[in-house]
Structure formats: C-alpha cells, structure tokens
Structure 1
Amino acid sequence: MQLEIYSLTALKDQISVSLEAICDSYSSLLWDIEFYQCGCFEVYIAASPQNVSIFQRGRIVARSDDAQHFGIIESLQLETDAEKGDYLTVTGRFLASLLERRIIYPTITVNGSYEDIVRKVLSRNVISAGIRNLPGFSMGMVSGDCWQKAVRMQVSYDNILEWLYGLCKTIGGSANVRLDGNALKCDLFSGTDRSLLQDDNPHIVFSDAYNNLLSFSYAADDAVQKNFAYVLGCGEGNARKRTTFCSGAEPTYLDRYEVYVDERNTAQEEDVTDAEYLEILKSSGAEHLVQPKTASESAIAAFSTQYQYNKDYFVGDYVTVEQRRFGLIQPRIQLIGMVESFDQNGRSLTPTFKETE
C-alpha cells in the first residue's frame, strides 16, 4: 500500500491538485477513520532532505487503496539523533477539517430535511459565499433515510465542522469530504445494519467463539445520561416561549434524567409561526440529550478469513459483538471508529464501538 502526496493550490473558486510524490518506505502509518468526528492520520518516516521537501503543510496525503479519505498535512515534527537516526512525524486530519475554517453566518432557518439544512449552511458559507468560499467545494452524494427526516431548525455563528458532526450525532448519520479530481465533494451518508437483529444484510459477528475477537473490555455509566429536555426560547419571565423534548415515550420516575436548554438567543423571525418556533426549540432540545455512557474497546483480527474491513463492513455499520465466556452480548452496536496501523509488525485494526438505543 502506497502513500500519494499531492499539492493543493487555490485558484479563486477552483483548486488545482497535482501529484508530487509516491511513498512506500514509511516506518509506520496510523489511519483513523471516525463516524461522528473528523478522522486523522500520522506518518512516521525517516527524515531526509527529500522527505522534508515532500511532506509540507497544506499538502494532501492519500492512500492508494482508499478513494474516500484524504488527509491534509497540518503538523510536522523533525527529530534528529546521532544514535537512533533522524525521523519526521507528519500529522493532520481528513479534508472535512477544512470546514473548521468557517462559521455559520448569518442566522439560517430551514423548514425541510436535514439534508436541506446542510445544503443551505454550506451554500451560504462555503460554496456561494464570495471570498468566504472554500475553493472547489460542492455537495456530493447523499444517502441514508436519516438525512431525509423533516426538521425546523435555526442555527447561527457555530463553527461549521463542530456543528455538522454534532448534527450527525443527533440523527445517526455522518459526513465526509473527499477529493474528486480537482474538486472537493462533501458526502452525507449513514451506516448499514449488519447485526443479528436484521436479516436484510449478511451478519457481522465479532466473538471469542469465532476467534476474530482478540481482546475485549466493556464499561457502562448512567451518570451522564440526559433523556428529557426543558427548552426555553426568546421572551422574558412567564412570556418566554417554552417546550419539552424527549425521544420516544416520555421517561418517568427513576428513568427520567432532565436537562435545561437555554435558547433565549434563538429569535423568532416574523415569518415563523409559534408552532414552527417550538419545533426549532425541540430540535435544539434533541441536540442536548445524552445517552448513557458506554465504553467498549476491542482488538479484532485484521486478517480474518470471515470478514474483511472496508469490504464486508465499514465504519458506521451496526454489527454484533459478543464475549461468550462472560455471557456478554451486544446484539446491535455501532462501529464508530477504526484505527488502521501499519508498522514493522504488520497491520492491526483497533475499532471503537458505541451502543445504540
């Protein structure tokens, strides 16, 4: 597997991408794909005048076997040592990190789908925003029912990258920016259910019984949970607009964990009815609900003959994880991150799982 290093040049509203070098002699590579946040990478390579000239900040690092994820170099660290040798550490995040350079300005209100709100935010702040444009940026493919759900939402002044992945966490979708020739495409998508709780897709099961679950740890914590929101909007005193929100049936008694959401700065525009404004407040309430905290760390077989990563299953998919020795089964758990590591010991996979409702 080779690394490809590209230069990225902005030409007003367009970009020019040019292949600068191909590298296959690095000491180690970490390729961290995340579903609910921007992924990152690290290249550890022997330092030479040639490598220092190749790996420059702002350049793009791509993998010859990955057409979806492209890193942009953000940090370089050069260390010289007469005994251990000279090494260069190259780090950065994937191309979605470019959205961190913009905020949502001014206020945007949308009555439509989640796809509509993302399109409007990107259009006004990234795509059709004059000197605020990210050159070559446009919307790409959209898939997944979660992006078509109806919503009434108002948003302003948030950092776009943080806002977008916060929205992804709320609805269960994800976003990724990929390089497509001389263009940057922002795709919206969702994971596929491959767990034992469905029969539409082949089942993916990681288990000690199948020898594809090398290690396993699990912890759960209810302390951070918030499942019922009181949302107060504009106005003063008893005149403040207010509503509540919860997902599904209203929780009661010991199962109820309340949170207060202050949205006094969310203005009610002239063309927005009271009912529509309350829907905007509800959407904010949804963003403040917190599920019980769980931590599930595992090491899975990188070269399993049963399932191949990025062929049979992908980051974002729902799978089944079980530790039969202790009778612990997670029948439907989401793979929200995967760190691929390449070094002198070969390739390893370190997944991150998150339980679903």
Structure 2
Amino acid sequence: MKHAFLVFLLTLSGLAHAQVLRKRTVKLMGSRWDITLVANDSLTAVQNIDTVVAEVTRIENLISDWRSYTQISKVNQNAGIAPVRVDAEVMALTERAIQLSKLTNGAFDISFAAMDRIWKFDGSMTAMPSPEAIKNSVRNVGYQNIILDKTNSTIFLKKKGMKIGFGALGEGYAADRCRQMMLARGIRAGIVNGSGDMSTWGTQPDGTPWTIGITNPLHRDTLFAVVPLHKTAVVTSGSYEKFVVFNGKRYAHIINPKTGYPATGVSSVTVFGPSAERANGFSTSMMVLGKAAGLKLIRHYPDYQYILITDAGEIISSPGLGLKQRRLSVR
C-alpha cells in the first residue's frame, strides 16, 4: 500500500508563470497514476502526457503477470517446462530484481507471485494460519530458482508452480522510464506518480521545488512532514491500512517472501533517491526486514535517504532530511 502515504503539493503561484502545468489522472497497471508536466504551452504538455500514458501501457503489456499474453505470463506458464525468450528490456529488469533479492537476502523477491494467499486482511480472519500452512505457502517462492540465460535472452523458472511478478517495482521502472523519455523530448519538469512510486525532475513553474506531504501512518488524516524533493524519486511503503492483530501483535499485509509471515514492527518507510525502481525495492525490503536490519541495509546506499516510522510511533530519518527525531502519538 503506497499511494495513501504521499500527498503531492503544488504552489498556486507557480501557475501564473510563463510555463504551463498540466496534470492528468489515469488508471494504468491496475492502479492510479498522476502525470504532471510543465511545458511551454498546453498542447505540448497534453501531447507529452499522451506519450507517458502510451509508454506505461507498453511496459504493462510486456511485464504484467495478470495478462495472459505478456512475456512474463509466458515465462510463468512455462515454469518447470522450458525457458522463454524475452526482450532485452525484460531481461535487464529481471536481472536488476534478482540483484535486489541478493542485496536484501531475499526480503525482496519477484517470485513472491507464487505465494499462497493464506493471510486475509479484509476482516475475515479469526485465527492465525498454522505454522505448517505458512511454511507451505512459500514452497514455490525463491529467486534462486529463476534462471537467466543472457546469451539467449531467456528466463526459466525451475519449479512447476513458480511465478514471477514485478508489482510495484514495475511501476517504479515505468515512472523512471517516462522521466528519461520526457527529458529527452525537452520537457524540463514534471512528476510521474505511479500509485505512489514518484519519479520527478525539474521544478515547479515558479522555480520552487516539487513538494510532498507525508501522511502520518498512525493518524492518516494528518501530515507529519512536508518535504521538498531534491532527489529525483520518492516511494513510500506502508502497512497501517491493511493488517490483522493476534495476541496483541500487529501483522501487516506485506509478507516476508522467505518465511511467509507478515511484516511486523514498522508502519511505513519512505525512500528518496535517484531511481523510483530501486527506491521501491528498498522501501518494501525495509518493511520486511524491520527497523534494525532495514536501517542497516539502506545506510549502505548514501544516494538514498529514508524516513522510517515504527508501530510505536518512533521516527528515524536520514540526517540530511533535517527532520526532528521524535515520536508520533499512537492514539
């Protein structure tokens, strides 16, 4: 769950300047996308928003694991049977995803798509699944069984029943791609926001930075911070809207792909950095790893800054963000 945590803020004064700002909200990749571009005139902005929509649609038709005709669906359909040839773009994205899995020791894993959905976060669960059911739910998960042949550009899933899916990582990749495309086309400022995976560049028409408000995960009708975007991407992963409580312990809807158990202890993680794709991988992994291991991971990557909020309301953030280290009220 990402989009509920970031509020994109515009300064109204920016709209009076020579450049124009245009925004469109559409549904792509099964989620809400907000596309905001700054251009010299309205027609240029609108035409380039069309280009962004077309590019995200193109990527979706390559990597969606919900559409039966995509290359990733063909890979899944042939799990345990045969390698499937894919485009170089799909191969490169898969390779980067596996690198993330190695960096996070499996806290991030695109083969999570094969996980049995034994946890329900719709209010219907009355008891925890058994340890045996939880263990069995991840029997087909394991990035080590994704075999890449770069020479022949093929992907092979070794075990029958395996599946891969990029989920929000694919949204981050698409947002990054669109930013690169717009810069190449001379669009000097904008935000491509794929369900909370934001890729940004330039400034608002009045020269001020793009600004986001970060929702208080413990009181979602309030903001706890307003942050100017000096990095080119920002992603928030959070768990406070979808969870269950058993024996006084909160279990979030983000599942550890290694163990089958839900993440605990962390309410939200926001990551700022040069790539929305990589920031997404880090934010998700930090939720799974928890406070100590998550902070240890992200601190190895100084190009990425973070805000982590625990279930107890503790806020830990990169020193460069200038946020006061304080505790949010849990009531």
TM over 0.5: no
User: Which TM-score bucket, shorter chain as reference?
Assistant: under 0.3
Larger RCO, structures 1/2 (Cα 8 Å, 6+ apart): 2
Task: Give the number of the structure whose alpha-carbon radius of gyration is greater.
Answer: 1
TM-score for both structures, normalised by structure 1: 0.24
- Relative to its length, the structure with more helix (as a share) is 2
In the superposition, the TM-score normalised over structure 2's length comes to 0.25
